[in-house]
């Protein structure tokens, strides 16, 4: 079991006593983002996008982009510090609507 899985398991079984709800939510969101990024990396190492059918490649990419964008959007709700690059990425994904 890797560190991310251990952290996730611990966070589900025993929440830290001194951590606020927002800090805990932010930590969990970051764990999920790390997990998704790792899965996407492994997927790209295993399959070359050119080897997949176009519909398959689009479907996989769409799922990861949607999940990562939603987690980034949630992360903005729990933190006051977000990078300009992160905000720019979300604007590109979601259009010009205000976040």
Taking only the tens place, the pLDDT of each residue in 36-76 is 999 988 888 888 878 888 898 888 888 988 898 888 888 88
| Distance between CA atoms of residues 20 and 55, nearest Å | 43
| Distance between CA atoms of residues 6 and 11, nearest Å | 8
What is the extent of the structural domain holding 45?
3-94
User: What is the rounded average pLDDT of the residues 19-36?
Assistant: 87
Q: Is residue 99 part of a domain?
A: no
Q: Is residue 62 part of a domain?
A: yes
DSSP code for 97: S
> Structurally, how many domains does the chain consist of?
1
User: What is the secondary structure of 16-32 as a DSSP string?
Assistant: -TTS-HHHHHHHHHHHH
Q: Is residue 59 part of a domain?
A: yes
Q: Is residue 76 part of a domain?
A: yes
pTM surpassing 0.85? no
């Amino acid at each position: 079991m890797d560190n991310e899985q251990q952290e996730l398991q611990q966070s589900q079984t025993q929440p830290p006593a001194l951590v606020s709800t927002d800090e805990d939510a932010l930590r969990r969101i970051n764990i999920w983002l790390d997990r998704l990024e790792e899965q996407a990396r492994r997927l790209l190492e295993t399959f070359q996008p050119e080897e997949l059918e176009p519909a398959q490649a689009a479907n996989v990419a769409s799922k990861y982009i949607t999940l990562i964008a939603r987690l980034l959007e949630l992360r903005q709700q729990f933190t006051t510090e977000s990078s300009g690059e992160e905000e720019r990425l979300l604007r590109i994904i979601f259009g010009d609507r205000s976040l």
